[in-house]
């Protein structure tokens, strides 16, 4: 994926550009298989972040349809796209989530259709000065669904018939995620079907019209106007040859040259004899991982050189964990140009540094709202939802933790401790509780030690619950009466 990003920046003929775009889109789709599982956990924990950026619905639809071109030809099907003439040229919303919804629905339609084809239509349901509602319809001529099964198809790990999985494959997660994603964006979805006659799935999505939308993301102008400093000495600590090449090419494109260390021990040896201005640090490596290497850099070598973590771990709290080990920033794999540039500009210019949320944090002693404010980016509805989930889940988890301790149920204890790592991360409790929860999840502890860890978690969480209720009533409800 990193190399397709690099190829897209090259001057290619029309056919080559089409092929590389298709490879890139297909690799994104493969990645979504893993992301489906991650999405479920993020939705449940309130950590699903919706991006807001301008995009063209027409271009997005054509890209999605192109992804299925080969599959449609293989099955001898046809796909018709009908776009309303009054569609806005550009809307403001989450293009990635819309792509995910359409890929799931069109992929399902193709999978369950042997003869005929698929129709995709988009019409404008309503339009106002600042917003527009779009109706997306996907109609297929496939096997159809029995009426008494329609209510179950959006359930997780469920398909209309038990034999469906054996014959057509799939996990039964796609439609459940589609429904959740539509609802998260204040839309609605419904399905109509008849056995042997096909299925129609229709969803309505509200978007802002781009001309009425807020100004672009605070990084966009910086990325287009600011240049990365070219006098930096950079060390890339990465064991994967492909990733070494990707980040090296990106840096070379900005006039930077990086040296490579294949693992943590090699990096430490290089740092003992040479000075660097910046380190890109992979987390999972042989010999010595990124966490241990960073610890050694900070505590043994006593160096303050900025360190940017590179990790494929997309779970909530990973960034906080990297920062707690002494790293300065965190980017996710697959490595993308915009993420690397943002990280560099954040460290080496003053324009894009985030402002701390002292206006809220100064009022609380236990919870830290930096993470929720950063992810929410001013979205009060998101803050409300996540805080409600924290107030709902944590008391139940504390109760389960205490009961497991009293009954010596090690399995429940470990499972609950693992679950709580996600629950507590949204309120910035990771620094205080991650170690105790890790010990409860993986440690071989005596009963007295277990009770001590549980008591610590309970005390901190009870203090956090009091402050979270205060935050909810004072800062969220008062500013967002709806």
- Give one DSSP letter per residue of 124-137, joined into a string: EEEE-SSEEEEEEE
226: domain CATH number? 3.40.50.2300
Print the domain residue range for 394: 361-477
Alpha-carbon torsion (203, 204, 206, 209), positive or negative:
positive
Reported as a pLDDT band with limits 50, 70 and 90, residue 452 is confident
- Return the pLDDT at 168: 38
- Return the pLDDT at 211: 61
Name the token pair of 370: 């930096």
Place of tokens 């449609």: 72
Q: What is the mean pLDDT of residues 32-54?
A: 68
- Return the pLDDT at 217: 37
Same-domain pairing of 56 and 150: yes
Residue 31 inside a domain? The answer is: no
Same-domain pairing of 205 and 227: no
Same-domain pairing of 315 and 380: no
Residue 395 inside a domain? The answer is: yes
Residue 195 inside a domain? The answer is: yes
Residue 323 CA, distance from chain mean position: 18
| CA-closest candidate to residue 49, choices 469, 310, 354, 373 | 373
Please give the tally of structural domains in the chain: 3
Reply yes or no on whether the pLDDT at 34 is more than 80: no
Beta-strand relationship, 234-237 and 258-261: parallel
Q: Which residues pair with 307 in a beta bridge?
A: 279
Residue 260 inside a domain? The answer is: yes
- Lowest mean pLDDT segment, chosen from 79-88, 118-127, 223-232, 375-384: 223-232
Q: Decide: helix, strand or coil at residue 396.
A: helix
Is residue 335 a contact partner of residue 250, using CB atoms and an 8 Å limit? yes
Same-domain pairing of 202 and 239: no
Q: What is the mean pLDDT of residues 19-26?
A: 81
Instruction: Among 348, 381, 402, give the residue marking a domain's end.
Output: 348
- Return the pLDDT at 119: 93
Same-domain pairing of 166 and 291: no
Name the token pair of 362: 């100064």
- Give the mean pLDDT of the chain: 78
Is residue 475 a contact partner of residue 376, using CB atoms and an 8 Å limit? no
Same-domain pairing of 194 and 234: no
Reported as a pLDDT band with limits 50, 70 and 90, residue 224 is very low
Is residue 110 a contact partner of residue 141, using CB atoms and an 8 Å limit? no
Q: How far apart are CA 282 and CA 334, in angstroms?
A: 12
56: domain CATH number? 3.30.565.10
Residue 293 inside a domain? The answer is: yes
pLDDT in tens, 200-223: 999 999 998 876 444 333 333 334
Angle value at C-alpha 185, between 85 and 468, nearest 5 degrees: 160
Reported as a pLDDT band with limits 50, 70 and 90, residue 259 is very high
Q: Which residues pair with 54 in a beta bridge?
A: 92
Same-domain pairing of 241 and 173: no
Is residue 441 a contact partner of residue 414, using CB atoms and an 8 Å limit? yes
| CA-closest candidate to residue 78, choices 112, 115, 106 | 115
Q: What is the mean pLDDT of residues 186-203?
A: 88
Same-domain pairing of 445 and 325: no
Q: How far apart are CA 460 and CA 398, in angstroms?
A: 11
- Return the pLDDT at 151: 65
Same-domain pairing of 188 and 289: no
- Return the pLDDT at 132: 92
- Return the pLDDT at 477: 53
Same-domain pairing of 126 and 101: yes
Same-domain pairing of 245 and 372: no
Alpha-carbon separation of residue 375 from 180, 327, 393 (angstroms): 19, 19, 20
- Return the pLDDT at 204: 95
Go through the chain and tell me how many residues it has: 482
Q: What is the pTM of this model?
A: 0.41
Reported as a pLDDT band with limits 50, 70 and 90, residue 280 is very high
Q: What is the mean pLDDT of residues 170-183?
A: 73
């Amino acid at each position: 994926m990193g190399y397709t990003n690099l190829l897209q920046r090259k001057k290619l003929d029309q056919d080559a550009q089409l092929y590389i775009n298709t490879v890139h889109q297909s690799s994104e789709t493969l990645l979504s298989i893993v992301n489906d599982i991650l999405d479920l956990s993020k939705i449940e924990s309130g950590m699903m972040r919706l991006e807001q950026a301008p995009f063209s619905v027409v271009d997005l639809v054509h890209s999605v349809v192109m992804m299925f071109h080969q599959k449609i030809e293989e099955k001898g099907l046809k796909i018709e796209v009908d776009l309303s003439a009054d569609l806005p040229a550009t809307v403001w919303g989450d293009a990635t989530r819309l792509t995910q919804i359409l890929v799931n629905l069109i992929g399902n339609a193709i999978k369950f259709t042997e003869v005929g084809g698929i129709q995709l239509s988009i019409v404008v349901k309503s339009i106002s000065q600042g917003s527009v509602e779009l109706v997306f319809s996907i109609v297929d001529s496939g096997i159809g669904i029995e009426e008494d099964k329609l209510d179950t198809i959006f359930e997780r790990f469920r398909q209309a018939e038990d034999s469906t999985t054996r014959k057509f494959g799939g996990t039964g997660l796609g439609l459940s995620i589609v429904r959740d994603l539509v609802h998260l964006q204040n839309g609605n979805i419904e399905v109509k079907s008849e056995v042997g006659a096909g299925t129609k799935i229709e969803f309505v999505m509200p978007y802002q019209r781009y001309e009425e939308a807020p100004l672009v993301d605070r990084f966009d102008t910086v990325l287009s106007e600011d240049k990365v400093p070219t006098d930096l000495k950079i060390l890339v600590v990465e064991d994967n040859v492909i990733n070494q090449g990707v980040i090296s090419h990106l840096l070379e494109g900005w006039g930077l040259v990086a040296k490579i260390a294949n693992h943590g021990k090699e990096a430490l040896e290089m740092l003992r004899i040479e000075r660097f201005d910046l380190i890109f640090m992979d987390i999972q490596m042989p010999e010595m991982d990124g966490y241990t290497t960073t610890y050694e850099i900070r505590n043994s070598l006593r160096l303050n050189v900025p360190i940017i973590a590179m990790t494929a771990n997309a779970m909530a709290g990973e960034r906080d964990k990297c920062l707690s080990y002494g790293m300065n920033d965190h980017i996710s794999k697959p490595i993308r140009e915009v993420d690397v540039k943002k990280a560099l500009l954040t460290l080496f210019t003053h324009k894009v540094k985030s402002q701390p949320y002292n206006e809220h944090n100064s009022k609380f002693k236990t919870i830290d709202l930096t993470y929720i404010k950063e992810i929410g980016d001013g979205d009060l509805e998101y803050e409300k939802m996540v805080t409600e989930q924290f107030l709902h889940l944590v008391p139940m988890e504390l109760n389960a933790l205490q009961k497991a301790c009293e009954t010596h149920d090690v399995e429940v204890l470990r499972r609950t401790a693992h679950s709580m790592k996600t629950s507590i991360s949204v309120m910035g409790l990771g620094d205080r509780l991650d170690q105790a929860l890790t010990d409860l999840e993986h440690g071989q502890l005596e009963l007295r030690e277990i009770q001590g860890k549980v008591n610590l978690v309970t005390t901190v969480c009870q203090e956090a619950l009091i402050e979270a209720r205060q935050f909810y009533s004072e800062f969220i409800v008062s500013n967002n009466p709806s």
